[in-house]
Chain A
Amino acid sequence: DAGVTQSPTHLIKTRGQQVTLRCSPKSGHDTVSWYQQALGQGPQFIFQYYEEEERQRGNFPDRFSGHQFPNYSSELNVNALLLGDSALYLCASSLAGKNIQYFGAGTRLSVL
């Protein structure tokens, strides 16, 4: 049983570019949440997707957008990259109505 998988593992972009990160949830899970983890900090909630809709959103600008596909996988898109977007982006999956979230290993994004 595969856990939460994310791709790519590492990414280097320049300011102003756009990036797409991908996440496949744990088998049987239908809800995907995205978090940003800056170096030395706790993860910060970006948004959550359920039934292909954004159900909840944290305090992040519109440059951050997402999508969930019918197979429950998800993408995180970030436009007009800033240096401050450099971080580890974590995806977590869960089952609707259940609290437990399982995390993927993350995508390390570096913006130069």
Chain B
Amino acid sequence: GENVEQHPSTLSVQEGDSAVIKCTYSDSASNYFPWYKQELGKRPQLIIDIRSNVGEKKDQRIAVTLNKTAKHFSLHITETQPEDSAVYFCAASRGGSQGNLIFGKGTKLSVKP
């Protein structure tokens, strides 16, 4: 079955720096790749997603890139702020009627003021 590996497990940056989180997936049929942010004790919130027919997507300070050949995708956060501190999860899915999400183990991002 699908397996999603996520690195690093923890990441500490200074406010204003960039942060990059990387994921690899195993199922070549996966075509949808969302990223969720989960603050302590709260629900996972979708922050950005990308479909397999797109190589890059950007939303303000957040961007995601996808390399289908290498089966990896990355989350880039620029100009980090303390409120970006949270656990970030990547996920992969075949979409449609097989739309279950397979999650990575998460990255705990700490942004120091």
In the complex, A100 has a CB within 8 A of chain B: yes
What secondary structure prevails in chain B residues at the interface with A?
strand
Contact assessment for B43 and A105 in the assembled complex, using a CB-CB cutoff below 8 Å: yes
Q: Taking each of B6, B43, B49, B96, which has the highest tally of chain A beta carbons within 10 Å of its own beta carbon?
A: B43
Question: What is the count of residue pairs linking A and B with beta-carbon distances less than 8 angstroms?
Answer: 64
In the complex, B98 has a CB within 8 A of chain A: yes
Q: Would A106 and B43 be within 8 Å (CB), given that A42-B104, A44-B103, A99-B32 are in contact? A: yes
CA distance A58 to B93 in the complex (A): 13
Q: Would A99 and B34 be within 8 Å (CB), given that A43-B44, A44-B103 are in contact? A: yes
CA distance A104 to B45 in the complex (A): 9
CB-based nearest A residue for B9? A40
Partner-A contacts on B (CB < 8 A): 1, 4, 6, 32, 34, 36, 42-46, 49, 51, 89, 91, 93, 95-106
- The list of the 8 closest CB pairs from A to B, nearest first, reads A42-B103, A45-B100, A99-B32, A105-B43, A103-B43, A103-B44, A99-B95, A42-B105
